[in-house]
Structure 1
Amino acid sequence: MAYTIYLSGETHTDWRDQIIQGIENNDLDIEVLGPITDLNISENIGAEILGPEENNFWRDHKSAKINALRNNHYLGQADLVVVRFGEKYKQWEAAFDAGLAIGMGIPIVVMHDPELTHALKEIDAAALAVTQDSLQVIEILKYISQQ
């Protein structure tokens, strides 16, 4: 069975690459979608296309809307959304993506360290699986891909 998954969340580690490598290594029929993870590109796209802004609020506002055009489209195409919350930064976009996916009826798998369990309890409660690392996500993908 073919799946399309959307990988949402922190951009400071190689968790996406690990999942993609696991999909390839296990020859899973899974298409992977996700946001632009180069922050220099995604955070400046609004000013690049629509013109510079003196005020950071409006610069961020422009970029957020353009990124939402792409991300919301890809979220809507996904059969499953994997949401990774890292330790170092607050991933507000990841929480927003989780809420959008849940609102669209798309199941989510959440990945985070145990230390974040309390802070993410509501998101964890809505997830169909709560994992701690990419290997657990890969095992879930292998399992659900079995015929």
Structure 2
Amino acid sequence: MKVYLSGEIHSNWREEIMEGAQSLDLPVAFLTPVTTHEASDNVGIEVLGAEENNFWKDHKAAKINAIRIKHGIEQADLVIVKFGEKYRQWNAAFDAGQAVALNKSLIVIHPEEFTHALKEVDAQALAIASTNAQALEILKYVTTQV
């Protein structure tokens, strides 16, 4: 199973899930966006040239990052989206919407206090977890139970 891991980049949640899946010998391969914040933010100007206006800097980066993200979501069988507490991840909500539009199975991870703010996203998810461990258990169940 191919699993795309979308969402916040300020914690090691992806590594926790990937290492957990490896330790359980789950039959999964993971796809991710670029998770180095500086690399993701600066790819446009590093590849296509400097910009005086931050709007165009962000625009270039967003479009280049979208190539990888779109491909990853399209290739995935399952998309896991994590909403962290430090920042609001508008991009993660967009990724969740793309996954649903492409008829991908969606698991959302977020703290309980985000339930109201994410009610539309949650309504489209097949599972809503509050911890990385719960998402890993779901992944274990859907890939190993007979």
State TM-score, norm by structure 1. Answer: 0.97
Residue in structure 1 matched with residue 131 of structure 2 by the alignment = 133
How large is the RMSD of aligned CA atoms in angstroms? 0.6
Task: Give the whole-Å Cα distance in 2 for the aligned partners of 1:81 and 1:137.
Answer: 11
CA–CA separation in structure 2 for the residues paired with 1:70 and 1:139: 27
Mapped to 2, the partners of 1:40 and 1:13 lie a distance apart of 15
1:107 to 92, 105, 108: 105
Q: Residue in 1 aligned with 2:90?
A: 92
Residue of structure 1 equivalent to 2:50: 52
Give the C-alpha shift of residue 87 in structure 1. 1.2
Q: Distance in 1 between matches of 2:104 and 2:24?
A: 24
Q: Distance in 2 between matches of 1:73 and 1:126?
A: 21
Map of 1:77 onto structure 2: 75
Point out 4+ residue stretches in structure 1 off by more than 6 angstroms: none
- Structure 1: runs of 5+ lacking an equivalent: none
CA distance in structure 2 between the partners assigned to 1:116 and 1:100 by the alignment = 20
- Could you report, residue by residue, the CA deviation over 1:90-125 in whole angstroms, capped at 9, with x for unpaired residues? 101100000000000111100000000000000001
| Equivalent position of 1:26 in the other structure | 24
From 136, 140, 145, the counterpart of 2:143: 145
What are the ranges of 5 or more consecutive residues in structure 2 without an aligned counterpart? Answer: none
Q: Deviations over 1:32-73 (max 9, x none)?
A: 001000011010000001000000000000000000011100
- Give the superposition deviation at 1:14: 1.1
Looking at structure 1, the residues matched to 12 and 23 of structure 2 have their Cα atoms a distance apart, in angstroms, of: 16
Task: Count residues with an aligned counterpart.
Answer: 145
Distance in 2 of aligned mates of 1:70 and 1:122: 25
